[in-house]
Amino acid sequence: MIRVAFQGERGAYSEMAAYQYFNTRVELIPIELIPKRTIADVFYSTERHEVDYAIVPIENSIEGSVNESYDHLLNTHLKIRGEVYLRIEHCLIGYKGSRIDSIKYVYSHPQALGQCRGFIQKYRLEPIPYYDTAGSVKMLSERRLDATAAIASKLAAEIYGMSILAEGIEDSKNNYTRFLILADAEGVEGGGERDDRASMSSGMSKTSIIFTVEHRPRALYNVLGEFASREINLTMIVSRPIKDRPWEYNFYLDFEGHILDGKVRECLESVEGKVAFIKILGSYPKANIPLVGASL
């Protein structure tokens, strides 16, 4: 049995992403998905070995970074074992018999509210942030709130017996969230190591690191130059504030290649001499991004 922690209630997008990832990689091993209220709870339960894997959202193609996930990556001992991109299709969900023109308030996770900003403005709805998309539907199913709806997945509406008032309300049909799969560095049942070897041999790997540079001219340029000189493709860079050092930042970097590749290993050895701090978050199989069309 593989136990996987995700943030949210049943019907959350993180749960859907977990099914998408593990159902294509794990054969003949039962999977149990464990809901947790917060991203912090997902990390902590995995670090305490209450579950085998964690799945957390890390970035969205419309709203950008999920900052809480980035911040926890700095302090965790977990390693990234994989990634998955989930197409996010939002629905406006309400009570049976409700109509869109009767809705004044809409609950959902802040990321989902941002991804549906155009729809919310069009219908002059008042957005109310909630801890989870599916959780907002569950809450409405348990309480009768006048003129109120939620934004979540079609699955959430089915699970909690609510009605779909509108489908596909996200601002872009290329609305994807990238999720990371994390586990202990030693690996667990279900074979993160197997995936690592496969990605290594096929050249389809990605590596993630965190680093900090001295607060001086050219410091970041010199680090990125090590990747450029070796033609290593960078796929993402994000900066996050260092909590106890105002106006200084940790940089989160994803790039193509495996840490066991000679070129990557040589690059990271050179980078170590140009940074104040570096942490390797892991090398893992690179996921495909099945884009469906142009942004609106």
Q: What is the tens place of the pLDDT at every residue in 87-98? A: 999 999 999 999
What residue type is 257 in one-letter code? G
The pLDDT value recorded for residue 294 is 41
Q: Which domains does the chain have, with CATH numbers?
A: 2-87+177-189 (3.40.190.10), 91-167 (3.40.190.10), 195-285 (3.30.70.260)
Residues recognised as catalytic: 177, 179
For residue 30, the model assigns a pLDDT of 85
The pLDDT score that the predictor gives to residue 201 is 46
pTM, whole model, 2 decimals?
0.89
Task: Identify the segments of the chain with pLDDT beneath 70.
Answer: 26-28, 186-203, 290-296
Task: Using the Cα atoms of residue 171, residue 65, residue 247 and residue 232 in order, give the sign of their dihedral.
Answer: negative
CA distance linking residue 90 with residue 92, whole number of Å:
7
Sequence-distant (6+) residues with CB within 8 A of 77 are 47, 184, 185
- Cα dihedral across residues 114, 118, 119, 120: positive or negative: positive
